[in-house]
Amino acid sequence: MRLKNKSVICLVDSEFEDLELWYPVIRLREEGAAVHLAGPEANKEYIGKYGVPAKTDLSYEQLSAEDYDGILVPGGWAPDKIRRYNHVLELIRQMDQQQKPIGQICHAGWVLISAGILQGRKVTSTPGIRDDMTNAGAIWVDEAVVVDGHVVSSRRPPDLAPYAKAFCDRLAQG
């Protein structure tokens, strides 16, 4: 239970990639972290790409960087929706400035691009948004998981085990 005093927010919207949301959330909870789901609306059920539901605890507007030790952004088609919320982008920027762990997998890189925090950072993502990542100033590599400071990135569902472990390890560091 090395993460028993840690609190993490996981961003949700319709058509999130089911495994990319739930695998890291379950892994964090197994290690003792409190994980809250946040979406455009609180107490609303959002459905993943493959039909798995996720009910939000909070709305994006209720989030404050000071209340959390880290943040997860799952992939799927949800990131294209999530990145349209200014409050989310500001939250990502604040967590970046505070050097709190930021986890992103697959298409979630779009949210970090829109927040403007990738310049000069070594990251990975689904190869489908490689050009987007490099055009945002990132140094893109094709690896299962990349940790650059407090930013933890991964490519796709087959990489979930090393991604979730790397995020938990980074969160445990402080």
Q: Confirm if 98 and 78 have CB atoms less than 8 A apart.
A: no
Res 174: pLDDT: 76
Q: What is the mean pLDDT of the chain?
A: 98
Cα 143 to Cα 12: distance, rounded to the nearest angstrom: 25
- How many other C-beta atoms lie within 10 A of the C-beta of residue 48? 22
22-37 tens-digit pLDDT: 999 999 999 999 999 9
Cα 23 to Cα 19: distance, rounded to the nearest angstrom: 5
Q: Which CATH superfamily is domain 7-172 in?
A: Class I glutamine amidotransferase (GATase) domain (3.40.50.880)
Which residues are identified as catalytic? 106-107
DSSP structure string for 67-88: G-SEEEE--BSHHHHHTT-HHH
Res 152: pLDDT: 98
Res 164: pLDDT: 98
- Domain boundary assignment for the chain: 7-172
DSSP symbol at 64: -
